[in-house]
Structure 1
Amino acid sequence: MVARERIITTVRPLDENRIRGSFINCSKGEARRLTLPRLTEIDWSEVDFLGWRDPKAAHNAYLVTPRGGEVIGVALRAAEKHRSAVKQSMCAFCGTIHAATDVTLFAARRAGAAGRLGNTVGTYACADLACGLYLRGKRRPAVHNPVDRAPLEQRIERTLDNLARFLDEVTTDNAR
């Protein structure tokens, strides 16, 4: 069993170099070419982790978060949308219930040799990766959500614990 590493709950503003240098599961060239969000437009007080979709490559997405005194970045690939009988789905990070089309299966190549062998880890998450905005009620899902009466700090902690479990899987080099 892998010991989970606690994610720091505050994200300080990050600059382009710090973000590009943080990626653990893609090449330096891929990190250099990815499209960053407009960093000056981010309200960092509402960011529990930085997540975004690449507007120039719709299937590419990225997560960046403090972890263990460092900043860790993970490149994700969004699965193709498909029609389903499922009407609603839940984000594995923040627990927000969305219309099924607003939750996406994201796959991350594992770090290290396992990733070079093609091993991936997948999870279902908010399609826009804006968990912090949903947690704070700044963005509302298209479907009615039952009210989570837990304090915001507790919901954020739960989200970061879920993210930490995902990152533990991504950083586990299980190549043999």
Structure 2
Amino acid sequence: MQKITAHQIRSSFINASRSEAAKLNLPHNFDTIDWENREFLGWRDAKMPQRGYLVVPNQGELTGIMLRAPEGGAGKKRAVLCELCRDVFSKDDVYLWVAKRSGQSGKNGNTVGTLICAEFGCNANVRKEPPVNEINPDPAAAVLKQIAGLEFRTAQFLDRVRNGSQR
């Protein structure tokens, strides 16, 4: 991912009003983000922990979506898999993040949700090399496949928010 500015982030949202986008709090480490090792920028709002943001370069443009986490955290603890990174080794919490659909559908109250790492650690998760075994004889190739999968599944989720298409 290429470096992006606060203005680019705020103007990228497809399911948030201009005032909501203007009021969002950027990640605390925004000035030191390692842009080369990420497929998207995802973070929780420090002042509104139930709110999260996902900003993705998609089809030549930057697309941002505002998300809502479940009230009171994850609730009952269960082992669930993040739909974006699908990291089976991660011990991180995974939430059902919900996004208003874009356009009139979202204004009518329609939403779409998916399971995503609670702290948006997917970029790091897909870069962990799996142990060498018969299924993964080349860990570096496995990482490239994991990154491609993350990009594909993230784009699918954006399409569901944007177009309302079902999986």
TM-score interval, smaller chain: 0.7 to 0.9
Higher relative contact order (CA 8 A, sep 6+): 1
Which sits farther off after the overlay, 145-154 or 90-99? Answer: 145-154
> Residue 113 and residue 173 in structure 1: after superposition, are their counterparts in 2 closer, same or farther (change >3 A)?
farther
Unpaired segments ≥5 residues, structure 2: none
**Cα distance change on mapping 1:70 and 1:109 into 2, 3 Å:** same
Other-structure match for 1:131: 122
Distance in 2 (CA, whole Å) between partners of 1:136 and 1:69 is 23
1:39: how far off?
2.0
3-state SS of paired residue (2:114) = strand
Matching of residue 89 in structure 1 with residue 80 in structure 2: yes
Aligned partner (choices 33, 36, 56) of residue 42 of structure 1? 33
Other structure's SS at 2:46 match: coil
Can you give the 5+ residue segments of structure 1 that lack an aligned partner in the other structure?
1-10, 139-144
TM-score normalised over the length of structure 2: 0.85
Aligned CA distance change for structure 1 residues 105 and 122 (closer, same or farther; 3 Å): same
Partners of 2:36 and 2:16 in 1: CA distance: 28
What's the counterpart of residue 73 of structure 1? 64
User: Which secondary structure does the structure 1 equivalent of 2:76 belong to?
Assistant: coil
2: CA distance between counterparts of 1:19 and 1:69? 15
- In structure 1, the residue matched to 2:158 is 167
Query: Is the contact made by 1:60 and 1:78 (CA closer than 8 Å) also made in structure 2?
Result: yes
CA distance in 2, matches of 1:94, 1:51: 13
DSSP 3-state at the match of 1:151: helix
Matched residue count: 155
1:117 counterpart = 2:83: no
Per-residue CA deviation, residues 14-57 of structure 1 (Å, 9 max, x unaligned), is 00000000001000000000000132110111111110011111
Scaled by the length of structure 1, the TM-score of the pair is 0.81
User: Deviation at 1:146?
Assistant: 8.1
Q: 1:32 aligned to 2:25?
A: no
Match of 1:23 in 2: 13
Distance apart, 1:151 and its partner CA = 2.1
